[in-house]
């Protein structure tokens, strides 16, 4: 029997559905609760906005990407996935391309976890459609900038190889 450990902030949030599943299936697990202000790396390492307005802007970008992910037909047939990428995917990329403009990062002159989120998510979409954002030069360049950050490049080099 596996030992499960659920680590999340000290609130329900996205982890609560997993807690429900564990409860319903009578599965034992360790429920590790983190303090958001002290333990969230984005907070500790200044990967959030410099101002409340910057945070709002970053959250809007994160939510836009997340909306696309939540509706993505992960288990559908290839035709359905390609259609989703062709229409909503193109709209997502077009909107984010406009939002990024000629800035280096979504927040302007500094990297945030929204830049990381874009790279990770768009990389996952590459599994389904090679060249997912190739027609959007600023977004594509952002992906490359994230991958070239020394700490990220080192992680990519040593992470386990998986399809997505």
Rounded Cα distance, 43 and 50, in Å: 11
DSSP state of 108: B
Is residue 74 among the annotated active site residues? yes
Is residue 8 among the annotated active site residues? yes
**Catalytic site residue from 8, 40, 110, 128:** 8
- The answer to whether the beta carbons of residues 26 and 52 sit under 8 Å apart is no
Whole-angstrom Cα Rg for the chain: 18
Tokens of 55: 């945070």
**Catalytic site residue from 4, 20, 74, 155:** 74
Gap between the terminal Cα atoms of the chain:
27
Is residue 14 among the annotated active site residues? yes
**Catalytic site residue from 14, 158, 159, 164:** 14
Query: Active-site residue numbers?
Result: 8, 14, 74
């Amino acid at each position: 029997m596996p030992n499960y450990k659920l680590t999340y902030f000290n609130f329900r949030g996205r982890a609560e559905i997993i807690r429900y599943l564990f409860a319903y299936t009578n599965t034992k697990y360790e429920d590790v609760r983190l303090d958001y202000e002290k333990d969230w790396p984005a907070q500790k390492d200044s990967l959030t906005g410099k101002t409340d307005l910057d945070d709002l802007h970053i959250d809007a970008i994160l939510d836009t990407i997340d909306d696309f992910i939540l509706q993505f037909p992960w288990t559908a047939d290839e035709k359905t996935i390609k259609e989703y990428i062709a229409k909503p995917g193109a709209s997502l990329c077009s909107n984010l391309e406009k939002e990024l403009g000629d800035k280096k990062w979504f927040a302007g002159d500094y990297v945030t976890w929204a830049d990381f989120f874009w790279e990770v998510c768009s990389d996952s979409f590459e599994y389904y459609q090679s060249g997912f954002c190739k027609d959007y030069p600023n977004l594509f360049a952002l992906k490359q900038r994230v991958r070239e950050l020394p700490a990220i490049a080192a992680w990519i080099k040593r992470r386990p190889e998986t399809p997505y």
